[in-house]
Chains A and B, each alone.
Chain A
Amino acid sequence: MISDLVLFQVIVLLFLGGAMLGLASRNGRFARPIIFIPPMIGSALAVLFSIDILTGKPLSWIVPNMVPFFNLEVFVDGVSAFFMLMIGIVSFAVSLYSIGYSREYQVTKRISVFGFLFNVFVVSMLLVVSSNNGFFFLVFWELMSLTSFFLVIYDHDKEENIKSGMTYLVMTHFGTAFIFVSFLLGYLQTGSLSFDSLRNSSPSFPFLIKNLMFVFAFVGFGTKAGIVPLHTWLPKAHPSAPSNISALMSAVMIKMGIYGLVRIVFDLAGFGATPDFAWWGMLMVVAGSASALIGVLYAIVERDIKRVLAYSSIENIGIILIGLGLSVIFASYHLASLSALALVASMFHTINHAFFKGLLFMGAGSVVYATHTKDMEKLGGLVRLMPWTSLLFLVGAISISGLPPFNGFVSEWLALQALLSSSQIPSTILQISIAFASLPLALTIGLAAGTFVRLFAMTFLSKARSKFSLNIREVSRNMIAGMAILASACALFGIVPSLGISLSSTAFHLPYQPSSPFDAVSLQNASGKSFANLSMPVVAMMLSGMALAVFGFIRVMSGKTTKTTYGTWDCGFGNLNERMEYTATSLSQPIRAVFKALFKSHNESDKELYVRTNPYLVKSIIFKSSTRNIFEENLYNPIVSSTILVLDKIRKIQTGKINSYLLYIMLTIILLLLFVRLSHA
């Protein structure tokens, strides 16, 4: 047997080897397999490694003074292994998919750079979740951010991509600064950046320090996770990146923010089970509800496929945060089993979202690969041209909409049950406010189904809305296989959710374990009766039994009938064409009208008349409708413009004359001397 440590080192070396191979390879026939097979093997090993950790003992490994003053500390416990498993499964599927997908880039760009960045990006995420030292955590965190930044601007020919890359770069460093402060606060108390010393001494920190550590970590990790209003980079960076990278970023990288938050809250910031800490949870519930609702509202009106998916990631991060927040609230009131329920809901949704969002981004990538457009208004009719992609995309769409019998339903069911259990909190204010917090969540779930009906229907169904070249073909087999892996994971975790639930509860040492594969969840009320039960395998059996019964019944009852194919009903006018179809924009018009306060949509129409005096005979109409982004306009633009204003003022001291610079130096020296003199006095 190989020890866990050796396995861990092999995994890291495989990725680094893949990165080196990437740099060394030329744009030849074998370049793509050479680049993407090492990360595939590495990811598969990471999955094995994390399963081994989850079923066995945590791995701890320390290299003293790896760089001067700092020990490299690796500690992989259940929580780390849980996130590592998620990274492993998704990056395995994405690497397989990338072998086919990156063919497009081979023509125009050097794929070797891409291979290098891809490998480093994945391994840096694995290292983030396994580091046990603030210094190395930040180093790997930064490595992850920088490699993903370069991957976002990989398509740097387009001006727009550079711009969104810069937004990402600024926002991610804004977040890193906050994380850094949070760790520094711990350092000031313990004198060490090692997580072990934080873990041991944080329970005795002053209450204020604990709160500050949490708030800074919340802002910092929240920026990475994409919590509203810190989400602004997400809908820009994810669509700009190549689709396999968007899949990794959306499915896995933003979860590093969740990982960090979980670590800080439950492990490092000295959380204690007293009602004083309930506000941490309430903050997360409020931020989560806002993110979920605002994310999905922007998703449902967006027309760029990948941006829809990016906004929907914000929504799902919101759902995850609601679960996490509830867990903290329950824990602070000593409701251990409810806290476990909420945490399982949150973590199960985390891994589910990784699966279906990875799948959907790869599906969107396949559409872009085949049609070279991300604009829903130009797509349509792909279900006949790309049957496999559309089937797998549909699986992802159903899962993310939270519909049975797929995985999204189960985690949302758990989250709703956690909300319903809030009536056991002994505080009326919290009870009522959490009950009201279920409003945005329920609205989100309803709107999410609409979003994905719209996304799937506009992309794959009915007639194409623009003239495509006729040679759109299904994507290559390995791309389909990559998507199929995650689609089957969605189905498996939906039909046998006890797998995912026991995975999460093992990782977090939670008391809740499903007693049999048939038993997803059984909750009890105060009088010992069943509060709620859910057994997805039986539901799946009932659905298939019902399907058989109905099919048989209709076969017996109906006579011999034939099916005729004929044109769609056109009210007898004939000539039904694609310009008369509903478009993505018109489909979501009612939603835009209902939530007009948020969208501030602006309509403009320009009529050309046959006769100026008769407004009813119209020759042509030009209609423009636009929605505005209130966060950009009201929050970010003022900050950016005032920063530029201040910098402009400061620039005036840069005169370009050597005399004035000498003056500055002299003034500085005088000031410093004064400062030293006065501080010693």
Chain B
Amino acid sequence: MPSIPDIAIGIIQVLVIMALAPLMTGIMRKTKARTQKRMGAGLFQPYYDIVKLLHKDEVVSDQSSWIFRISPWVNFVAIGTAAFFIPVFLTPSPFGLVGDLILVVGLFALARFFTMLAGLDVSSTFGGLGSSREMMISALLEPAIFLAIFVVAITYGGTNLSTIVEAAANSALLSHPQLIFAAIAVFVVILGETGRLPFGNHSTHLELTMMHEAMVLEYSGKSLALVEWSQSIKQLVLFTLIANIFVPWGISSSILPLALGIGLLAFVIKVSTLAVGVAFLESSVAKWRLFRLPDLVAIAIASSMIGLVFYYL
């Protein structure tokens, strides 16, 4: 039976993720603005946006049903629950006994399921377009995700995230070459899952380039705040995953205050670096044609396959 402080630290980690998630979005927007020689909005703009949206009135389409109304809530709840299973700055987690990496993927899929339904619910062509593209990309990403999980699981002996991160923290750098290939795959998966370039473009409302934005076009007010926030949380959860599995530096293995402080600091530095890196990448590549994206996913899958063969041979 896990102790109360363990559970409390687990909950604090989730709160940290939820609180920092909009900041990461802010950092990415700022980076993109600076690379484009703009000043850009402040780092805290996403927080102001959420608060502003929470106080706005909502307009709901007369074609929509209860599916459209509950979808942002399901989204937030599923993604927020998934955040419980990710070690953020402490390896042992009582929630490792509840679920693993595959459950996290499952909860993301649940959120996506409802987002796609909501996109189709309002009978707008934008929504249909977004859901249609998301359906293809997410289905193709699934094998890439699972194969990467496969490589990580056989290397570190489990899909339980505490086990993985603990084993990762205790192993020497570059002692598992197959993980480099898995990391490439996971990076592509993260770009696809969060709809970053070259998959989709967050800062546009052109139907040619939209994926996620098209599905949630009809949302406003509170619902939009939930959608935006849960999207940021999902992004940070994925960044945390890649940071803690592949670069587990500084993560704490005990609940001593000093170790926890170092862990938190290391976590913030790692994910911010990743955010800046992804934003740079976004500034330097163009959106790919939709039907070229399967090639990119195929590269991810092939990379994991090479990793697997590396491990077994």
* Shortest Cβ distance from A456 into B: residue: B117
Interface of A is mostly: helix
* Residues A586 and B128 in contact, CB atoms below 8 Å apart: yes
Q: Could you tell me if A404 and B131 are in contact, using CB atoms closer than 8 angstroms? A: no
B222, A454: Cβ atoms closer than 8 Å: no
Residue numbers in A under 8 Å from B294 (CB-CB): 594
Q: Is the CB of B265 closer than 8 A to any CB of chain A?
A: no
Q: Are B62 and A565 in contact (CB under 8 A)?
A: yes
Question: A454 to B116, alpha carbons, bound, how many Å?
Answer: 9
Contact A565/B308 with A535-B99, A591-B136 known, Cβ cut-off 8 Å: no
**Assuming the A-B contacts A531-B157, A543-B77, are A564 and B138 also in contact, with contact meaning beta carbons closer than 8 angstroms in the complex?**
no
Assembled-state Cα–Cα distance A428/B222 (Å): 54
* A-B pairs with beta carbons under 8 Å apart, 14 shown: A404-B107, A404-B110, A432-B309, A435-B147, A435-B308, A522-B97, A525-B157, A534-B100, A534-B103, A543-B78, A547-B77, A557-B51, A578-B123, A587-B128
Q: A441-B146, A463-B63 are in contact. List 17 more A-B contacts (CB 8 A).
A: A404-B110, A413-B102, A423-B154, A435-B147, A439-B143, A443-B140, A449-B138, A450-B116, A450-B136, A453-B135, A456-B117, A463-B123, A563-B58, A582-B120, A582-B127, A582-B128, A588-B132
A564 partner, pick from B59, B80, B141, B312, beta carbons under 8 A:
B59
Can you list the 7 inter-chain pairs with the closest CB atoms, starting with the nearest? A582-B128, A446-B142, A462-B123, A525-B157, A442-B146, A446-B139, A457-B120
Shortest B304–chain A CB gap in Å is 9
A 481-501 binary contact with B (CB < 8 Å = 1; else 0): 000000000000000000000
- Which residues of A from 497 to 548 have beta carbons under 8 Å from B? 522-523, 525-527, 529-535, 538-539, 542-543, 546-547
Question: Are B121 and A525 neighbours in the complex by a CB distance under 8 Å?
Answer: no
Q: A610: CB under 8 A from chain B?
A: no
For residues 183 through 209 of chain A, which have their beta carbon under 8 Å from a beta carbon of chain B? none
A590 close to B163 (CB less than 8 A): no
**Which residues of chain A from 342 to 396 have any CB-CB distance to chain B below 8 Å in the complex?**
380, 383-384, 394
Q: Does A471 contact B (CB under 8 A)?
A: no
Which residues in window 393-424 of A have CB below 8 A to B?
394, 398, 401-404, 409, 413, 416-417, 419-420, 423
Q: Contact partner of A567 among B62, B120, B313, CB < 8 A? A: B62
CB-contact partner of B129 in A522, A562, A565, A582, under 8 A: A582
- Residues of chain A contacted by B160 (CB below 8 angstroms): 529-533
In the complex, per-residue mask of B9-41: 1 if CB is within 8 Å of any chain A CB, else 0: 000000000000000000000000000000000
Q: How far is the CA of A402 from the CA of B106 in the complex (A)?
A: 8
Q: A392 CB to closest chain B CB, in angstroms?
A: 14
Find the B residue at minimum CB distance from A439: B143
Give the complex CA separation of A570 and B218 in angstroms: 11
Interchain CB contact under 8 A, A443 and B142: yes
Whether B98 pairs with A432 at a CB distance below 8 angstroms is no
In-complex Cβ contact of B81 among A402, A439, A441, A542 (8 A): A542
Q: Which residues of A sit under 8 angstroms from B78, Cβ to Cβ?
A: 543
Q: Determine if B261 is an interface residue (Cβ-Cβ < 8 Å).
A: no
A446-B138, A454-B135, A533-B160 given; A416·B143 CB < 8 A = no
By the criterion of a CB under 8 Å from any partner CB, how many residues of chain B are at the interface?
A: 88
How far, in Å, is B289 (CB) from chain A's closest CB? 11
Residues of B within 8 A of A436 (CB): 305, 308
Which A residues touch B139, using CB under 8 A?
Answer: 443, 446-447, 449-450, 591
Distance in Å from the Cβ of A205 to the closest Cβ of chain B? 35
Whether B274 is near chain A, meaning CB under 8 Å from some CB there, is no
User: B290 on the interface (CB 8 Å rule)?
Assistant: yes
Tell me the count of chain A residues lying within 8 A, CB to CB, of chain B.
Answer: 87
Contact B59–A462 (Cβ < 8 Å): no
**Minimal Cβ-Cβ distance residue in B for A384:** B65
List chain B residues, Cβ under 8 A from A531.
Answer: 153, 157-160, 163
Q: Is the CB of B153 within 8 A of A420?
A: yes
Which of B124, B140, B308 is in CB contact (< 8 Å) with A568?
B124
Judged by a CB distance under 8 angstroms, whether B133 is at the interface is yes
Which residues of A approach B to under 8 Å, CB–CB?
380, 383-384, 394, 398, 401-404, 409, 413, 416-417, 419-420, 423, 428, 431-432, 435-436, 438-443, 445-447, 449-450, 453-454, 456-458, 461-463, 522-523, 525-527, 529-535, 538-539, 542-543, 546-547, 550-551, 554, 557-559, 561-570, 576, 578, 580-582, 586-591, 593-594
In angstroms, Cα B120 to Cα A586, docked, is 12
Known: A527-B157, A550-B73. Is A581-B147 also a contact (CB below 8 A)? no
Measured in the bound complex, the distance between the Cα atoms of B166 and A527 in whole Å is 13
| A543-B77, A566-B60 known; A576-B163 Cβ under 8 A | no
Nearest chain A CB to B312 CB, angstrom units? 5
**A residues within 8 A CB of B158?**
523, 525, 529-532
Docked Cα-Cα span, A419 to B246, in Å, equals 23
Given contacts A401-B113, A446-B141, A587-B131, contact A534 B98 (CB under 8 A): yes
Chain B 67-116 interface residues, beta-carbon cutoff 8 Å to A: 67, 73, 76-78, 80-81, 84, 96-100, 102-103, 106-107, 109-110, 112-113, 116
Which B residues lie within 8 Å of A564 (CB)? 57-60
In the assembled complex, the CB of A548 is this many whole angstroms from the nearest CB of chain B, namely: 9
A456, A581, A593: which contacts B125 (Cβ < 8 A)?
Answer: A581
Residues of B within 8 A of A404 (CB): 103, 106-107, 110
Q: Is the beta-carbon distance between A443 and B98 smaller than 8 angstroms?
A: no
Residues of chain A contacted by B99 (CB below 8 angstroms): 533-535, 539
Closest partner residue, chain B, to A413 (CB atom) = B102
CA of A633 to CA of B123, assembled, Å = 37
Tell me, in angstroms, the Cα distance from A359 to B130 when the chains sit together.
Answer: 29
Are A398 and B113 neighbours in the complex by a CB distance under 8 Å? yes
- Judged by a CB distance under 8 angstroms, whether B278 is at the interface is no
Q: CA A486 – CA B174 in complex, angstroms?
A: 51
A546 engages B81 (CB within 8 Å): yes
Q: Which residue of A530, A551, A590 contacts B135 across the interface (Cβ within 8 Å)?
A: A590
**Residue in B106, B157, B159 with the greatest tally of chain A CB atoms within 10 Å:** B106
B76 surroundings in chain A (CB, below 8 A): 550
In angstroms, Cα B59 to Cα A568, docked, is: 9
